[in-house]
Amino acid sequence: MSTGTALDPRTAPPFPIAAARSLEDSQLRKNVRHATDVIQGKRARVVSEMPDWEALRISGEAIRRHTMKHLDEYLRQFEENCARAGGVVHWARDGAEARALVIRLVEEAVENEGPHNSLREVLKIKSMTTEEIQLNQALESAGIRPYETDLAELIIQLGHDQPSHIVVPALHKNRQQIRELFRKEMDLPELGESPEELAEAARRFLRTRFLRVPIAISGANFLIAETGGVCIVESEGNGRMCLTLPRTLITLAGIDKVLPRFRDLEVLLQTLPRSATGERMNPYNSMWTGVQRADGPKQFHVVLLDNGRTDVLADIEARQTLHCIRCGACQNVCPVYRETGGHAYGSVYAGPIGAILTPQLQRLQHARSLPYASSLCGACYEVCPVKINIPEVLIHLRNKVVRRDTAGLRVLGNPEALAMKAASTIFRSERRFRAAQRLGRLAQRPLERKDAKGEPWVSSLPGFFGGWTATRDLRAMPKQTFREWWENRSRNNRDAKYSAEAPR
């Protein structure tokens, strides 16, 4: 599915509706299944060769937990150390502030370039945080042209598409689809479909831009509080070009990206690449601190973005959401994501991490169907390199959704909540439970149909439960519950014992 407009949780349809649409797209499903199979396989191989993988996960979790507990302190440290090294740190409360800041910084940079270069263009490194605040649309509205330089993001941009995965944004596209796009957009009618040919086409297309555009916008994988440095890992080297060639570099990072010490990278630079792309190490690991007179950008800005993150931080039970290092392993392993792909989540953050992060960034005003977009199978928790207990957070968020949707008189218009309350009342009494079981047997009678073996089955249920019988049969309730069988047996045993003991 390719959506022309940005993924926006405020306007996206509820997950079940969007997902049902994605399920109809057989090409999409084949692409997603193939890509996630390949990445999962690679990950499994390089994780299994690590004797200390569990210890690394535990360390990673400890580092992130500690960071979040002292986030205010480490952010101030980062600001101070970054400024000392020649960077300028800005703070943005939300997306609107961040967009305005970045646009102002780009315009200042264009002005600084002087009259010989007045083109309003910027290079971009793949950054989900810029996608979160829909920066590209804002830049375009301000008359600034952003050029995505990450191969996958380039594919997304050229196709007026949206990212469907946090590490592999064009995961939903296959090689043939990419070739078609490049043929059209790069005017290369003879282009072949081998990875080499496609990469070469992208390389030539991007090279002219790398050489021309003096301003770049990046995200960040990590901010190091102790040094004021920034770290970006990537596979292509296009990020490295953006970090070294331009004269002005603007980095947008969520406040959750900070790490206390340089040595914390020792843990996370082992777990991140293995979890994300199944590589032992990323081909390009870029780290820089402020500006250097001899080399690299001369102007360096960091925009620290909150956009709902302090609210997540304030919720003790959900805080672990911010531990995420954006490896995407939970997406690749999620049986829901593997069926639907990313667009169904209506947010740049798809899959299990998206199902907990997006609704929280929206303060549960939007995306309230996402905490339910999971069977709670726990596969995400099992692979998470920083041990985020995603099922636990999902359940916590479901509770928050229910509380909001059943507050006061609202419960009266909510059939699910009424049914749940009734069920709870039933389960609080053995007598009521038995009555409900008897009532259930009576109520199902008109729906029962005997199968060839003469067993009663239900193949069509009304209303809300119709979702079950759309694809599944349900065996009818047997004539006797277990407790009835148990009581009969106990009675018979007693009688047998009594008659055996009785004098003749």
Residues at the contact surface with other proteins, assessed by CB under 8 A: 15-16, 19-20, 23, 335-336, 339-340, 371-379, 381-382, 392, 395, 397-402, 417, 420-421, 423-424, 426-430, 433, 437, 440, 451, 453, 455, 457, 459, 464-465, 467-468, 470-475, 477-486
Q: Which residue, 143 or 408, has its beta carbon nearer to other proteins?
A: 408
Tell me the DSSP string of 96-123.
HHHHHHHHHHHHHHHHHT-TT----EEE
- Is residue 247 within 8 A of residue 297, CB to CB? The reply is yes
Q: Which of residues 471 and 499 has its CB atom nearest to other proteins in the complex? A: 471
Residues 213, 85: Cα–Cα separation, whole Å? 25
Question: Mapping DSSP to helix (H, G, I), strand (E, B) and coil, where does residue 39 land?
Answer: helix
- Considering beta carbons, is residue 103 or 402 the nearer one to other proteins? 402
Q: How far is the CB of 42 from other proteins (least distance, A)?
A: 17
- Is the distance from CB of 269 to CB of 32 less than 8 angstroms? no
Beta strands at 474-475 and 456-458: parallel, antiparallel or unpaired: antiparallel
Closest CB 154 distance from other proteins, rounded Å: 30
Kindly tell me which of 279 and 339 has the beta carbon lying closer to other proteins. 339
Give, for 303, the enclosing helix (H) or strand (E).
strand 299-305
Least Cβ distance, residue 448 to other proteins (angstroms): 14
Q: At its nearest, how many Å lie between other proteins and the CB of residue 450?
A: 12
To other proteins, the closest distance from the beta carbon of 494 in angstroms equals 14
| Distance between CA atoms of residues 340 and 319, nearest Å | 27
Task: List the 456-458 sheet strands across, edge first.
Answer: 448-450, 456-458, 474-475
Smallest distance from other proteins to CB 443, Å: 12
DSSP secondary structure, 138-154, as one string: HHHHTT-EEEE-SHHHH
With respect to other proteins, which residue has the nearer C-beta, 208 or 365? Answer: 365
Q: Which is nearer to other proteins, 5 or 459 (CB)?
A: 459
Q: Specify the long-range contacts of residues 75-78, CB closer than 8 Å, at least 24 apart.
A: 75/225, 75/255, 75/258, 75/304, 77/225, 77/226, 77/260, 78/223, 78/224, 78/225, 78/228, 78/258
Residue 475 or 497 with smaller CB distance to other proteins: 475
To other proteins, the closest distance from the beta carbon of 34 in angstroms equals 14
Provide the minimum distance between the beta carbon of 64 and other proteins in the complex, in angstroms, as a whole number. Answer: 21
Rank residues 192 and 456 by Cβ distance to other proteins and give the closer one: 456
Helix (H), strand (E) at residue 491? helix 482-501
Distance of alpha carbon 496 from alpha carbon 38, whole angstroms: 64
